[in-house]
Amino acid sequence: MAAVARYVWDESDWPILRVDAPPQPADDRSFQELLDWYGSVLLRGQPFVLTFELGLGAPLTVERRDQLRRHTSEHAPLIAKHQSGLAIVAKSAYQRAMARALFWIVKPPCPTEVFENWDAARAWATERVRGAEPASAVAR
């Protein structure tokens, strides 16, 4: 039996949180666990920045994108109040372009940037945590 692909999240660098997407599509349970964890972080009522590493895995299905959109819509007031930023790390130029296009069409409830690598995303997240308006990232 093949191992189930799962999202992995890390809170060890609080208030900068990291989520790594699996290299292949995750099952429904793993995606729901991710949304449940994210909701629980929002309910803590403490400022944080979420970094999300897309990797080179499969894109979200239409159903999962809709589920994420509903979750974001339902939690928008908490996101706007507590989430200081969202940094998307996408190694593929195509992924970065698609993410930027999506965020241009649908404005996220918190400051959001797309980066090519983890170091640039981490630097931006650190500035967001400090409350500074981050300078443009070099590797976007």
The tens digit of pLDDT for each residue in 92-111 reads: 898 899 889 888 888 899 99
The tens digit of pLDDT for each residue in 112-137 reads: 999 999 999 999 999 999 885 444 43
Name every residue whose Cβ is closer than 8 Å to that of residue 112 and which is 6 or more positions away in sequence. 85, 86, 87, 88, 103
What pLDDT does 114 receive? 95
> Going edge to edge, which strands form the sheet with 48-53?
8-10, 16-20, 48-53, 83-89, 112-115
**What is the helix (H) or strand (E) element at residue 34, kind and residue range?**
helix 28-43
What pLDDT does 39 receive? 96
Q: What is the pTM of this model?
A: 0.86
- Show the DSSP H helices in 59-111 as ranges: 62-82, 93-105
The structural architecture, per CATH, of the domain 8-130 is 2-Layer Sandwich (3.30)
Average pLDDT score over residue span 75-84 = 95
Where do the structural domains in the chain lie, given as residue ranges? Answer: 8-130
Q: Is the pLDDT of residue 15 over 90?
A: yes
What pLDDT does 78 receive? 96
